[in-house]
């Protein structure tokens, strides 16, 4: 029987990265505080993770808090930090049982030690899993990541473990927070903004981008499936001429 478009297997992205934007506007439109939007956003993360195996997505990376987000009000920052803690406490068992391996990227030094302990515990509890690799970017900025990587690389040069003439495009990514991950194939940003806001700068050099109007708390597995199917129809050439 011929496959209908809906049931056709997806030749889609292996690694999807998402800038989850629009929580604040979603809440404001309902006359509710911004944190209400972030809570709804956290529930969408769960739905999207659950949809990944069926869509052939092996790696999912989500931007939860940027190095620039500290500029928000103290109340919103505190609310987000406490939401991250509650999310980890609530989801650890399910993620571990469902085959999800969780990693965090970003600079942990500015995060409170209780949150860092929870992050470590979640990484440890899921380290044997391989169904879907969920990476949560928390206090993450692409430029900050490259600067931290360069510092470590410079130290290796200074201490004789690396020769300057051996530094090339393959070397630097080994020092990035994402060193064990493949580059994202598809980067999605919700809420109508068409910019990348310091997300995965090095890694997304050849990624496809989708800027969609949906606010993050309204994003669904169906929309993700649509984006994966349209990704499968594209011809990625990585700078080469068409075959
Ligand atoms: C951007 O929307 C969203 C954030 C800064 C926070 C993202 C956090 C979540 C989706 C919730 C928790 C995630 C995990 C992994 C537990 P915005 O506030 O900038 O929205 P706006 O542009 O409408 O103001």
Distance CA 52, CA 217 (A): 17
Report yes or no on 86 lying in a domain.
yes
Whole-prediction pTM:
0.94
Q: Compute φ and ψ for 156, nearest 5 degrees.
A: -65, -35
Per-residue pLDDT of the chain (243 residues; tens, 9 = 90+): 344 445 566 889 999 999 999 999 999 999 999 999 999 999 999 999 999 999 999 999 999 999 999 999 999 999 999 999 999 999 999 999 999 999 999 999 999 999 999 999 999 999 999 999 999 999 999 999 999 999 999 999 999 999 999 999 999 999 999 999 999 999 999 999 999 999 999 999 999 999 999 999 999 999 999 999 999 888 666 777 666
Report yes or no on 76 lying in a domain.
yes
Report yes or no on 178 lying in a domain.
no
CA distances from 172 to 12, 66, 79, 123, 152 (A): 28, 22, 35, 24, 10
For the CA of 25, the closest atom of ligand 1 is 23
Report yes or no on 68 lying in a domain.
yes
What is the reported pLDDT for 137?
Answer: 98
**Which residues have a catalytic role annotated?**
21, 69
CATH of the domain at 97: 3.40.1180.10
Range of the domain at 78: 15-141+184-231
Report yes or no on 61 lying in a domain.
yes
Q: What is the DSSP letter of 35?
A: H
Overall domain count for the chain: 1
Dihedral, CA of residue 151, residue 176, residue 118 and residue 50, to nearest 10: 170
Report yes or no on 213 lying in a domain.
yes
What is the reported pLDDT for 7?
Answer: 56
Binding site membership of 64 for ligand 1 (Cβ less than 6 Å) = yes
Q: Give kind and range of the element (H or E) at residue 232.
A: helix 221-232
CA distances from 43 to 46, 49, 50, 67, 147 (A): 5, 10, 11, 23, 33
What is the reported pLDDT for 237?
Answer: 66
What is the reported pLDDT for 91?
Answer: 97
Report yes or no on 23 lying in a domain.
yes
For the CA of 66, the closest atom of ligand 1 is 5
Report yes or no on 207 lying in a domain.
yes
Which of 18, 27, 39, 41 should be mutated for ligand 1, with most atoms under 8 A from CB? 41
């Amino acid at each position: 029987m011929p496959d209908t478009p809906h049931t056709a297997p997806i030749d889609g992205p292996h690694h999807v990265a998402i800038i989850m934007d629009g929580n604040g506007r979603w809440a404001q439109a309902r006359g509710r505080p911004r944190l209400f939007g972030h809570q709804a956003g956290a529930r969408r993360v769960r739905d999207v993770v659950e949809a990944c195996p069926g869509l052939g997505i092996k790696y999912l990376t989500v931007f939860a808090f940027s190095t620039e987000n500290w500029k928000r009000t103290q109340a919103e920052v505190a609310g987000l930090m406490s939401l991250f803690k509650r999310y980890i406490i609530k989801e650890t068992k399910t993620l571990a049982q469902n085959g999800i391996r969780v990693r965090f990227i970003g600079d942990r030094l500015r995060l409170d030690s209780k949150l860092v302990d929870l992050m470590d515990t979640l990484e440890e509890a899921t380290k044997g899993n391989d169904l879907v690799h969920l990476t949560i970017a928390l206090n993450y900025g692409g430029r900050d990541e490259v600067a931290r990587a360069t510092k470590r690389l410079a130290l290796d040069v200074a201490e004789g473990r690396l020769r300057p003439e051996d530094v090339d495009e393959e070397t630097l990514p080994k020092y990035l927070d994402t060193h064990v991950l493949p580059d994202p194939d598809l980067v999605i940003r919700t809420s109508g903004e068409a910019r990348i806001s310091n997300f995965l700068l090095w890694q997304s050099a050849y990624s496809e981008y989708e800027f969609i109007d949906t606010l993050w708390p309204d994003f669904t597995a169906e929309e993700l499936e649509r984006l994966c199917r349209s990704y499968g129809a594209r011809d990625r050439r990585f700078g080469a001429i068409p075959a």
